[in-house]
Amino acid sequence: MEKKNINIKLQVWRQNGSKEKGKFVEYKVNDVNPDMSFLEMLDVLNEDLIKKDDIPIEFDNDCREGICGACGVVINGTAHGPRSGMTTCDVRMRYFEDGDTIMIEPWRAKAFPVLKDLVVDRSALDRIMSKGGFISVRTGGIPEASAIAVSKENADEAMDMAACIGCGACVAACPNASAALFVGAKVSQYALLPQGRPEAGRRIENMVAQMDEEKFGACSNHGECEAVCPKQISISAIARMRREYWKAAFK
């Protein structure tokens, strides 16, 4: 049965910058098509605001296909919204009911200062990645597929970890604003493969040191990060990160 268009109220966080005070502002969006994505609904609201000579709401987005990790807001207290395993741009308005009030706010973390409204600066994650360095490999001809033995189990898990898109939802959901799941995933995608072992110790020490320098909190195993991760990265990545760190420390 086709769902009818709905009317909703929004409580949207408006803030001009990290040094400015912000507040929730109420908006009404009527006749919303339930097949719209959440970001398309915000587009409609912004078009209406522009027509009224009001300032549109700033929010991050790029591919709108759940791939890039650019989008990301807290919807009714949950990073990326009411459904697990999806980004904000994947959320459809049919997940809400007519007359609902939806609260929308940015990622909340000291390491993610608000740039404007719902947009935060996530460059801290980029700086952690840059500290991971590189993998030393000999260039030349294409090696034989069986030249380096990798078990299917490790190859599959490495691919699962490499699926992390760095959206920052794990940080936003964690009560300590920890980036442990992100760092764990980025460490694991290399640690599980033989090509990543030569620089493994230096990689983990540098990435963890940068994570601490960026003022992310410590992981206390609440598990919210795994619950909101749009790529469903396992919390086992954090355990591997810790093992890698201690191996490097005692080596």
For the segment 19-46, what is each residue's pLDDT rounded down to a tens digit? 999 999 999 999 999 999 999 999 999 9
Instruction: Give yes or no: residues 65 and 163 share one domain.
Output: no
Instruction: Give yes or no: residues 183 and 95 share one domain.
Output: no
| Torsion region of 113: left, alpha or beta (phi above 0 gives left; psi -120 to 50 gives alpha) | beta
Q: pTM of this prediction?
A: 0.92
Instruction: Give yes or no: residues 150 and 41 share one domain.
Output: no
Burial of 206 (0-12, 13-18, 19+ CB in 10 A): middle
Pick the residue with more confidence: 150 or 208? 208
Q: What is the bridge-based pairing of β-strands 23-32 and 101-105? A: unpaired
Calpha distance 210→168 (Å, rounded)? 16
Confidence category of residue 198, pLDDT binned at 50, 70, 90: confident
CB 169 within 8 A of CB 72: yes
Nearest to 90 by CA among 78, 82, 98: 82
Confidence category of residue 142, pLDDT binned at 50, 70, 90: low
Q: What is the bridge-based pairing of β-strands 101-105 and 6-14? A: parallel
Instruction: Give yes or no: residues 134 and 109 share one domain.
Output: no
CB 37 within 8 A of CB 64: yes
Residue 93 lies in domain: 6-115
pLDDT tens-digit readout, 224-250: 999 999 999 999 999 999 999 999 998
| Torsion region of 233: left, alpha or beta (phi above 0 gives left; psi -120 to 50 gives alpha) | beta
Instruction: Give yes or no: residues 130 and 236 share one domain.
Output: yes
Q: How many domains, in total, are found in the chain?
A: 2
Instruction: Give yes or no: residues 38 and 145 share one domain.
Output: no
Instruction: Give yes or no: residues 234 and 133 share one domain.
Output: yes
CB 25 within 8 A of CB 12: yes
pLDDT confidence of residue 138: 66
Instruction: Give yes or no: residues 87 and 158 share one domain.
Output: no
| Torsion region of 36: left, alpha or beta (phi above 0 gives left; psi -120 to 50 gives alpha) | beta
| 191, pLDDT greater than 90 | yes
Strands (E), the chain: 6-14, 23-32, 74-75, 78-79, 101-105, 114-116, 119-120
Classify residue 1: in a domain, yes or no.
Answer: no
